[in-house]
Structure 1
Amino acid sequence: MLRLVACLMIALSAGVSFAAERPNVVVLLADDLGYQDIGCYGGPVETPTLDQLAAKGARFTNFYSGCAVCSPSRATLLTGRHHIRAGVYSWIHDESQKSHLLERETTLAEVLKGAGYATAHVGKWHLGLPTKKFDKPTPDQHGFDYWFATWNNAEPSHKNPNNFIRNGKPVGQLQGYSCQLVADEAINWLDEKRDKEKPFFLNVWFHEPHAPIAAPDEIVNEYGGQKDKAAVYSGTIDNTDRAIARLLAKLAEVDAIDNTLIVYASDNGSYRDDRTGGLRGKKGVNWEGGIRVPGIFCWPGTIPNGQQIDAPAGVVDILPTVCGLLDLDQPERHLDGSNLAPLLTQQGEFERHQPLFWHLQKSRPIVAMRDGRYSLVADPDYELSTSNMFQEAWIPKIKAGSYTNFRLYDLEADPQQTTDLAAEKPELVKRMKRQLLDINASIMNDGADWHQQ
């Protein structure tokens, strides 16, 4: 398999423009990819495609997921709102839970569709799909004209998955690896299915490197033996980079690359301790290793290239940022994210209107908040049952509960969160605690009461 770097370089510098009225938007999301997996973040995996995207755009060094696990982070990305407001408390198990992304929410797809965009989602969904027991909305009810998705993971693994659904109809077993199949679908949509008179929003959510993992032998061999889980894990990321290269080459064919905004991130931190960049914790917990992820924005000609941005940001900012860059009205509701356009374009002053905030019921710490250089974390003042899967019966206790054992960390001086400064800075803790509790109260007030439905 060729790396297609040459195609990528062409894609980043040329292309034939069909002069869409607005720029195209492409969101690329990895699944369980750690802060230090890919090359441009100092990781061990060869990712020349992503490295070039970062070089041709902006790379955030303090970028965050919407949650330490999958479904809620995806809800936050699509809405610009904390996932509990959007109805998603934790990762969704469709067969046993009523939970799903609420139809009352306004997604990025709906914003762009309202502005005249053709919209498509390809890849993992995990925001709720119908089952025999529960009737749930599908991606077309959240603004996507076309969709090709799975409930949760690619099954039985990334190799030859059998659980994709296309516009409501099961596809059956496919031959190949999930990331390449997702790229194939995106390319086919660009070629044959989209309305070519419109600009497009293409939402591409890969399954890799979420377990159960699989990648071509020849790629895995570049990182170790076939039985080496770290090598297979790296192989899935490398394979995804190659799939993205093919997609970017196609994007350059259909329109000039300077008419396409591309965003890349991960839904949460890695489940591997060795891929978090030495940060504390990993997937599933609200320490930095569970929530800090790569974040890349590329739009040649609009976002100056080669930027490294150290200001804290996250997937919660994607919707307001797209609106800001494209001069679109934001949804008329409270957004927890802020518009990063001044940072990305180096024009104007950026001010975050609300600190970044995370909540996950089974994590310890259960909440975290970042305001500037400081992080405040806390534990719950209540107990839940021992189940690791979210129980909708917990919702009253979660919404009524509060927090204890507050700890403060200076993430600029101590990104590994080794030294609690709470005793040294009581006034700062008092101020940040008040902010945290105010944000928490607002979010819980909006949270869905699935236990009553």
Structure 2
Amino acid sequence: MLKAFLISALSFLLAATSASARPNVVMLLADDLGHQDIGCYGGPVKTPALDALAAGGTRFTDFYSGCAVCSPSRAVLLTGRHHIRAGVYSWINDASQKSHLLEREITLAEVLKQAGYATAHVGKWHLGLPTDQRKKPTPADHGFDHWLGTANNAAPSHHNPDNFIRNGEPVGLVEGYSCQIVVDEALTWLEKHRAKDRPFFLNVWFHEPHAPIAAPDEIVETYGALKDKAAVYSGTIDNTDRAIARLLARLKEIAPPEDTLIIYASDNGSYRADRVGGLRGSKGMNWEGGIRVPGIFSWPGVIPAGAVEKTPAGLVDILPTVCGLLGIAPLAGVHLDGSDISPLLRPAAGTAFTRHQPLFWHLQKARPIVALRDGPWSLVAEPDFELSTSNMFEESWIPAIKSGTYKNWQLFNLETDRAQDHNIAPDHPEILARLKARLIEINTSIMADGPDWHLDQ
């Protein structure tokens, strides 16, 4: 009821503004892509399409995922809220968990749909899908008019996947590579299914380079031997860039580049330690290597070309920032953990950016379990409680997670120590005390909102 009321109120607020005056919005999300994988971030993979996107817009040096693993980060992107508030504690396994993105959450797709946008999701979903035993919402329940997705990864690999679902119906075996299949679907929707008289929101979530990996031999061999996992990994990213190039070319035919806002990022850091740009840790860890990812914003004529922004930002800022760029008022009564970073993207407007709440991460099996970024400062801590050794999230852990406390606090200055080699907490007790209190305050608020999946729903 509350969600329906809020969306109704949003419709009223937007009624006076013409949807046709707003740009198309395209969200491109990689899966497990490291901070230093693609060319414009100094990576070894040839990514001319993404490099051109960065050259034509703003590239963030310190951009962050919503979590160190898949599902929670995606929940953060769509809602602008911490994933635990949104119902997602960790990566989702539909067969064994009740967990899913709560239907009560208001997503970016729903906000834009109420603003008059046609909406589509293509690619990995991993926010919960129905099974024979469990009823869960689908992308259609979260604001998408059309969707093609997978419950988790492309299976059996990126090559010839057989687990795509389109609008609730299994598709079966699809020949080709996942990234190209996903773009094929996006192009088909753009050509045949979207309402041509409305702007569109196209949410494109690739599977690459998440394992199990596969890429065309002719691409892989440019990076090394065909059986070299590093070469195949690079090949999946290269292949994705080629798919993105096809999509970008069609977008330019549909509308002038000035009519389309494009955002590119990754859901978390790489599982390969050699692709995190010298940062500490990797996927699944709340060190910088697990949560720092590429972040590119392009909107010619609005966002300046060739800009490099060092202010920390992340996926949690996507929803409020899109609203800010499009002139859509944020929902009253909904706490957003992200901030509107549009002042950073439109510096000529002369509006100063102030983050209302530090960036914060919590993942129960990660070490460190919590992390906070406030300006140059990075604060991390270990759990003062134990969970079972299972790598898969167990909903029986929720009481311990909600009541858990932390220990072994460490403080780093990322401006002088981006590798987090030197704990300076003993040297700065006043900064440690201030940030520790702020982290505990944010953590307490989030845990109060987290659903009790371990109880009968």
Do residues 141 (structure 1) and 141 (structure 2) align? yes
Helix, strand or coil at the partner of 1:375: strand
In the TM superposition, what is the alpha-carbon distance from 1:329 to its structure 2 partner? 1.5
Between the aligned residues of both structures, percent identity stands at 72
Structure 1, unpaired ranges of 5+: 1-18
Do residues 411 (structure 1) and 414 (structure 2) align? yes
In the TM superposition, what is the alpha-carbon distance from 1:21 to its structure 2 partner? 2.2
Helix, strand or coil at the partner of 2:426: coil
8 Å CA contact 1:67–1:268 kept in 2: the answer is yes
Q: Deviations over 1:321-357 (max 9, x none)?
A: 0000000021230000000100001021000000000
Q: In the alignment, which residue of structure 2 is the partner of 1:170?
A: 170
Write the distance in 1 (CA, Å) between the matches of 2:253 and 2:422: 51
Q: In the alignment, which residue of structure 2 is the partner of 1:40?
A: 40
Q: In the alignment, which residue of structure 2 is the partner of 1:340?
A: 341
Write the distance in 2 (CA, Å) between the matches of 1:395 and 1:247: 41
Helix, strand or coil at the partner of 1:437: helix
Write the distance in 2 (CA, Å) between the matches of 1:417 and 1:334: 31
Write the distance in 1 (CA, Å) between the matches of 2:167 and 2:388: 38
Helix, strand or coil at the partner of 1:110: helix
Q: Deviations over 1:153-188 (max 9, x none)?
A: 000000000000000000000010000000000001
What amino acid is the match of 1:131? T
Q: 2:370 aligns with which of 367, 371, 380?
A: 367
Q: In the alignment, which residue of structure 1 is the partner of 2:211?
A: 211
8 Å CA contact 1:103–1:141 kept in 2: the answer is yes
Q: In the alignment, which residue of structure 2 is the partner of 1:99?
A: 99
Write the distance in 1 (CA, Å) between the matches of 2:46 and 2:402: 44
Deviates more, 1:326-335 or 1:54-63: 326-335
What amino acid is the match of 1:89? Y
The alignment covers a number of residue pairs equal to 435
Q: In the alignment, which residue of structure 2 is the partner of 1:301?
A: 301
8 Å CA contact 1:106–1:331 kept in 2: the answer is no
Q: In the alignment, which residue of structure 2 is the partner of 1:112?
A: 112
Q: Deviations over 1:192-215 (max 9, x none)?
A: 010111100000000000000000
What amino acid is the match of 1:433? K
- What is the 5 A alignment of 1:328-407? 328-332=328-332, 333-346=334-347, 347=349, 348-407=351-410
Q: CA RMSD in A?
A: 0.7
Q: In the alignment, which residue of structure 2 is the partner of 1:256?
A: 256
Deviation >6 Å, runs of 4+: none
Deviates more, 1:32-41 or 1:250-259: 250-259
Q: In the alignment, which residue of structure 2 is the partner of 1:280?
A: 280
Q: In the alignment, which residue of structure 2 is the partner of 1:8?
A: none
Write the distance in 1 (CA, Å) between the matches of 2:331 and 2:377: 29
TM-score normalized by the length of structure 1 = 0.96
Helix, strand or coil at the partner of 2:28: strand
Write the distance in 2 (CA, Å) between the matches of 1:376 and 1:261: 33
What amino acid is the match of 1:112? L
Write the distance in 1 (CA, Å) between the matches of 2:364 and 2:133: 25
Structure 2, unpaired ranges of 5+: 1-18
Write the distance in 2 (CA, Å) between the matches of 1:90 and 1:278: 26
Write the distance in 1 (CA, Å) between the matches of 2:309 and 2:21: 29
Do residues 188 (structure 1) and 156 (structure 2) align? no
- What is the 5 A alignment of 1:81-96? 81-96=81-96
In the TM superposition, what is the alpha-carbon distance from 1:145 to its structure 2 partner? 0.2
In the TM superposition, what is the alpha-carbon distance from 1:377 to its structure 2 partner? 0.2
